[in-house]
Amino acid sequence: MNKLNRRLFLVSGLAAGGAVAVPHFAGAAAPAPAAVRDPFNLGVASGDPRPDGMVLWTRLATAPLDIGGGMGTRTVPVEWQVATDEAFGTVVASGTESAVPADGHSVHAEPRGLPAGAEFFYRFRADGFISPVGRTRTAPAPGSTPAALTFAFASCQHFEEGWYHAHRFMAADQPDLILFLGDYMYEKASGSANRVRWYVDFDEVDALGEYRLRYAQIRTDPDIRAAHAVAPWLAVFDDHELKNNWWGVSSDAPAARKQAAFQAFWENMPLPKAMRPVNSAIPLYRRVSWGTLARFHMMDTRQYRWKQPPAGNCAEFTRTDRTLTGAAQEQWLLDGLAAGGSRWDFLGQQVFFAGRDPDGATGTCDGSTDSWEGYRASRQRITQGWVDRAVRNPVVLTGDVHRHWANNLRLNYFDQDSPYVGTELVTSSVTSGGDATETTPPQVPNNPHLYYVGNHRGYVRVRAGSGQLTAEFMKVSSVQQRSGVTNTVRNRFVVLDGEPGVRPA
Ligand code: FE
Ligand code: CA
């Protein structure tokens, strides 16, 4: 057990013993009525770090798998504290939020005025109970140049298809940041014979109470709680947080269902209050800067996309006005890239970016319709956009496909002589698909810009410095075994400053 985990254990153990007076919270702890139970069963999280603060999250549930989480209709005051040390000897910020039933008793506290580029610890108190302790940090000051940044990114974690070992290993890594790129939950039960556990509600979810219950069940897993508690997250959704392959205004994802899915996502993620859904829309795309070293453009590739083109329909595949991002987000992205001043520009997004045409023949239009391949003009405008703006190091970060990939990006994927103009790193699934055997997909021999592919579960960890970026594709030996599981670097590549594309480390 590392130091932080030990601390988490000690603090939650303390709280589990009943109501306790904690010396560093202002005033005496209000003694809890005997009937009141510990509401901190879903853990703590932080996210969207800024130079002077971040979002601190928790959600109260005395009975996570009961409808309503056991909280009833109460509004509960929740105190929060930020300290520079795990023992909370030096508290530097504190406040109180109201956990209300309309928001699933979630808390999104936003301390301000903290020093930049620093590590902090935080905790909550409600009903006389103290939450587990989380570790977080502020982003470096604008204009400052940190020596390095470490982050992990992950996606696709069907709860039923495996154990969350990857999250335990990510927590042990103690990165500065964790990016989650979509498919945090799945709307349907697994059809796999390999499922290791079952949803409480195994019907397809489409209502707020059902989406909430699904997130609550996911957070009953201690490994994912550890990953949330160890570092700030940047979370975006893909399709399954609502329904499979939904797009824009798709008629089979009506407004009420969208509103429910987005509300549950916002309630359960460490997202700022400003990102609270309004009716059936959520302002998901946003930017986070890490001094002059890195900038994360967190994208939304679902809410504004056109419908996927029909497979084989070249007129639709190549239609020049097709969009995956919508016009406003595209302009926002290109304007952000044009701002310059960042060594690494990461595009945190969901679906496969590089060309991945099965036969490498331009006239067949048989690639994945849900990925950027089905929105070629949209991909072209963005790629040409960063080339025209002389972006120093564009790196696309991707989830969705349940395989690791490392790709070299081109302006024309059907011209094998066209130069590399960027890099894509794709993380495999945390669990989705379960244990797999390594096979080479048929697209690989026809697409030489696809540099590496690995078919196993895991995540990717990145260390970005001024001269190079190192990406480690992590392999979790099994998600179906409960114990005795190993975490190994399956492959390691570097991207050199100013030289697009991956190369051996
Ligand atoms: Fe997935
Ligand atoms: Ca083709």
> Sorting pLDDT into bands at 50, 70 and 90, what band is 15?
very low
Q: Are residue 132 and residue 238 in the same domain, yes or no? A: no
| Mean pLDDT computed over 69-92 | 97
> Ligand 2 centroid vs 400 CA: distance in angstroms?
21
Q: Cβ(283)–Cβ(300) under 8 Å?
A: no
Q: Which ligand is nearest to the CA of 442?
A: 2
CA atoms of 284 and 493, how far apart (whole Å): 30
- Contact present, 266 and 281 (Cβ < 8 Å): no
Ligand 2 geometric centre to CA of 312 (Å): 8
Query: How many whole angstroms separate alpha carbon 49 and alpha carbon 41?
Result: 24
pLDDT band at 34 (very low <50, low <70, confident <90, very high): low
Q: What does the pLDDT read at residue 8? A: 42
The whole-model pTM stands at 0.94
Q: How far is the CA of 400 from the centre of ligand 1 (A)?
A: 5
Task: Render pLDDT for 282-328 as a digit per residue (tens, 0 to 9).
Answer: 999 999 999 999 999 999 999 999 999 999 999 999 999 999 999 99
Per residue in 413-446, pLDDT (tens digit) is 999 999 999 999 999 999 999 999 888 898 999 9
Half-sphere exposure of residue 73: CA atoms within 13 angstroms, side-chain side: 0
CA distance 199 to 217: 7
pLDDT of 127 strictly over 60: yes
Judged by its nearest atom, the ligand closest to the C-alpha of residue 183 is: 1
Count structural domains, the chain.
2
Rounded distance from Cα 505 to ligand 2 centre (Å)? 32
| CA 202 to ligand 1 center in whole angstroms | 17
Same domain, 304 and 346: yes
**What's the 186 CA to ligand 1 centre distance in angstroms?**
8
Residue 340 and residue 464 in one domain: yes
Q: Could you say which ligand is closest to the alpha carbon of residue 158? A: 1
Joined tokens for residue 500: 């697009």
pLDDT at residue 36, rounded to an integer:
79
Counting ligands in written order, the one closest to the CA of 186 is 1
What does pLDDT average to over the chain? 94
Residues 240 and 105 placed together within one structural domain of the fold? no
pLDDT of res. 24 = 64
Does 394 have pLDDT greater than 90?
yes
Alpha helices for 231-312 (secondary structure H): 255-268
Answer yes or no: is pLDDT of 20 > 70. Answer: no
* Shared domain check, 133 and 166: no
How many A from CA of 456 to the centre of ligand 1? 13
The CATH number that applies at residue 446 is 3.60.21.70
Q: What is the pLDDT of residue 70?
A: 96
The arithmetic mean of pLDDT across residues 378-406, rounded, is 98
User: Is 282 found in the same domain as 168?
Assistant: yes
What distance in angstroms lies between residue 43's CA and the mean position of ligand 1's atoms? 24
247-277 residue pLDDT tens: 999 988 999 999 999 999 999 999 999 999 9
Q: What is the pLDDT of residue 344?
A: 98
Proximal ligand: closest to the CA of 362? 2
pLDDT at 107 over 70: yes
Distance 157 CA to ligand 1 centre (A): 7
Q: Report the distance separating Cα 358 and Cα 397, nearest Å.
A: 22
Q: How far is the CA of 417 from the centre of ligand 2 (A)?
A: 18
% of the chain surpassing 90 pLDDT: 89
CA of 242 to the centre of ligand 1 (A): 12
Range of the domain at 278: 149-187+234-468+475-504
Q: How many other CB atoms are found less than 10 A from the CB of residue 34?
A: 8
Is residue 213 in a domain? no
Q: 112 and 255: one domain? A: no
- pLDDT 10s digits, 335-345: 999 999 999 99
Average pLDDT of 35-57?
96
